[in-house]
Amino acid sequence: LGGRITHAIHQMRNVTVIDEKAMNECLNEITRALLQSDVSFSLVKEMQTNIKKIVNLQHLAAGHNKRRIIEQAIFGELCKMLDPGKPAFAPKKAKPSIVMFVGLQGAGKTTTCTKYAYYHQKKGYKPGLVCADTYRAGAFDQLKQNATKAKIPFYGSYTESDPVKIAVEGVDRFKKEKCDLIIVDTSGRHKQEASLFEEMRQVAEATKPDLVIFVMDSSIGQAAFDQAQAFKQSVAVGAVIITKMDGHAKGGGALSAVAATKSPVIFIGTGEHMNQFEVFDVKPFVRRLLGMGDLSGLVDKLQDVVPKDQQAEYLEKISKGNFSMRMMYDQYQSCLNSGPLNQFYSMLPGMSAQMMPEGESESKIKRYMTVMDSMTNEELDSSNLKAFNESRIIRIARGSGRIVRDVMEVLEQYKRMTKLFSNVKGLKMLKNGDMSSN
Ligand code: GDP
Ligand code: MG
């Protein structure tokens, strides 16, 4: 999505006169990109109409920067779509709040419950986790395991089959234990079934939650709107958490979930681990969606993956496009070691999907690294592909025990990365407070 929208705006940049036609072409391209990113059709239509209203070319005074106005209109509209206008219920300390999690099976409820509890525990809350999922075998064990890891008290049963009974007992227990954040994990079904919604209704009625959080897998595609709406119609959803944003997910589902539930997204899940959980922030999210990058997030991630004393230099190099083969090597290395680098990449403007294409698996990275292991220091530090003449390529192939095509592939990959990094001039734009000052 980011790539296409940025491209559409860029196209417009190259047009000398922005007339109705250029504007419509840009809007159509953006429309297609949004649809492909799982934003529902009616939302896209609405957005298009609004942008046209804002950017009424006829009424724009001469001399105004029309491209900037269009960019800002898109940015503003997307932000508006993600803001339902009222904040989610925030639990208060030392006063018991009950938070119920709902969502389809596999959406990430149980994982997210613990992340949510852990996040608040670090902020000084006293959480307790209740497993009211009696549908799935092993549900209680999973919650127990997660809770134990995070040192959070939990409640559940291996024998009781009535989710309402367990939910009520758990809530009572934790109220007695003076927990101020009582979290009720519920079951899901693979499909949206009447029996599931009936169960949700009953648990909600019995526990009277202060907040119902709808957990949605970001990879469900166009189904997002209907799914979110179905849950909203059964229980009083008051907030949304989008999971698996670390995958190839397109952000569009978030827009649909907000529209369908009229509730804000409060967190996003970015991995299976407890701390792969981020407070949702509209503007950086939209910037990322549009491929504009998120400088503050980027710098945070940089701190995770690049040694402190090298960070400034690194950022400087990236933004200048001085990207060497060795830097590519180092990045692959950190990719293999940790993984947060993928998230790091996804924050660079216009990067995410291209950077780690599907299938660019570990074995491929390792193969690239084997090839690079046979390069000389001089070759690794150079950022000039011309240096790789035929005899060198053959030498590298022999040295690494690979074929010439493998070496060519590494060079191709390097070229692609360099090109992407040189696009990161956007970083500078952000630094200068262009889009980020919205
Ligand atoms: P539930 O059925 O809704 O309770 O879903 P679970 O919490 O059991 O999660 C289903 C699967 O998704 C598990 O394998 C989780 O580890 C995984 N999962 C949950 N959240 C995330 C996330 O943010 N990123 C990734 N990559 N995996 C997640
Ligand atoms: Mg579960």
What would the pLDDT profile of 415-430 be if each residue is shown by its tens digit?
A: 877 766 665 554 444 3
Residue from 272, 278, 280 whose mutation best tests the ligand 1 pocket (most atoms within 8 A of CB): 272
Distance between CA 380 and CA 306 in Å, rounded? 18
Atom 12 (ligand 1): residue with closest C-alpha? Answer: 108
pLDDT in tens, 102-154: 999 999 999 999 999 999 999 999 999 999 999 988 999 999 999 999 999 99
Distance in Å, CA 122 to ligand 1 centroid: 21
To the nearest 10 degrees (0 to 180), the angle between helices 390-400 and 362-373 is: 110
Atom 26 in ligand 1: residue holding the nearest Cα: 271
Counting ligands in written order, the one closest to the CA of 217 is: 1
Region(s) of the chain under CATH 1.10.260.30: 295-430
Ligand 1 atom index nearest CA of 136: 2
Strands (E) across 262-394 are located at 265-269, 277-279
Q: Would you say residue 275 has pLDDT above 50? A: yes
More confident of the two residues 329 and 307: 329
Q: Measuring from each residue's beta carbon to the nearest atom of ligand 1, which residues come in under 6 Å? A: 103, 105-111, 188, 243-244, 246-247, 269-272
pLDDT at 113: 97
Q: What distance in angstroms lies between residue 345's CA and the mean position of ligand 1's atoms? A: 22
Please state the atom number of ligand 1 nearest to the C-alpha of residue 142: 8
How far apart CA 51 and CA 346 sit, in angstroms, is 27
To test the pocket of ligand 1, the residue of 189, 243, 268 to mutate (highest count of ligand atoms within 8 Å of its CB) is: 243
The closest alpha carbon to 270, from 110, 115, 88, 103, belongs to 115
ipTM value, please give it: 0.99
Average pLDDT rounded to a whole number, residues 390-406: 92
Q: How far is the CA of 142 from the centre of ligand 1 (A)?
A: 11
Fold of the 97-289 domain: Rossmann fold (3.40.50)
Of all ligands present, the nearest one to the C-alpha of 243 is 1
Predicted confidence (pLDDT) per residue in 4-47, tens digit = 666 666 666 556 566 777 777 777 877 777 777 677 788 888 88
Residues of the chain with CATH 3.40.50.300: 97-289
CA of 134 to the centre of ligand 2 (A): 10
Q: Is the domain defined by 2-81 classed in CATH 3.20.20.450?
A: no
Per-residue pLDDT band at 48 (split at 50, 70, 90) = confident
Residue 304 confidence (pLDDT): 55
Q: How far is the CA of 235 from the centre of ligand 2 (A)?
A: 18
Q: Which of 99, 160, 93 is nearest to 126 (CA)?
A: 93
Q: Give the containing element (helix H, strand E) for 59.
A: none
The model's pLDDT over 341-395, given as tens digits with 9 standing for 90+, comes to: 555 555 554 444 344 544 455 677 888 899 999 999 889 988 788 888 999 999 9
CATH architecture for segment(s) 295-430? Orthogonal Bundle (1.10)
Q: Where in the chain is the domain with CATH 1.20.120.140?
A: 2-81
